[in-house]
Copies of this chain bind each other. A is one copy, B any other.
Amino acid sequence: MSEENIVYIGNKPVMNYVLAVVTQINTGTSEVILKARGRAISRAVDVAEIVRNRFIPDMDVENIAINTEEIVGNDGVSTNVSTIELQLKK
């Protein structure tokens, strides 16, 4: 799995990420991993669902994993943030 197959979900409009996934698949990649943390987790799920329902019907969500990451801010205070990884496979 090369780095190119990972799509990081941030605060942009959901269709930006949908387009990124569809483009990856159209270049011949059979697997894409969506990664998100914090509030972007909901958007990552939206991206997976929109890709599957509207663009690539034969794509499956192979695996979903959740985790916690510790983020240390500039002030040295660390906070925990939840993460999600959605493995999409065609």
Instruction: Decide if A67 is an interface residue (CB 8 Å cutoff).
Output: yes
Instruction: Decide if A82 is an interface residue (CB 8 Å cutoff).
Output: yes
Q: Which residues on the B side are within 8 Å of A6 (C-beta)?
A: none
Q: Which residues on the B side are within 8 Å of A41 (C-beta)?
A: 41-42, 45
* A64 → chain B closest CB, angstroms: 4
Query: Is there contact, CB below 8 Å, between B38 and A82?
Result: no
Question: Given the complex of chains A and B, what is the CA–CA distance between A77 and B42 in angstroms?
Answer: 22
Interface residues of A in 24-40 (CB under 8 A from B): 38-40
Q: Take A53-B68, A64-B66 as given contacts and tell me if A82 and B39 are in contact as well, using a CB distance cutoff of 8 Å.
A: no
The interface of chain A, by Cβ under 8 A from chain B, is: 38-42, 45-46, 48-49, 53, 61, 64-68, 80, 82, 84, 86
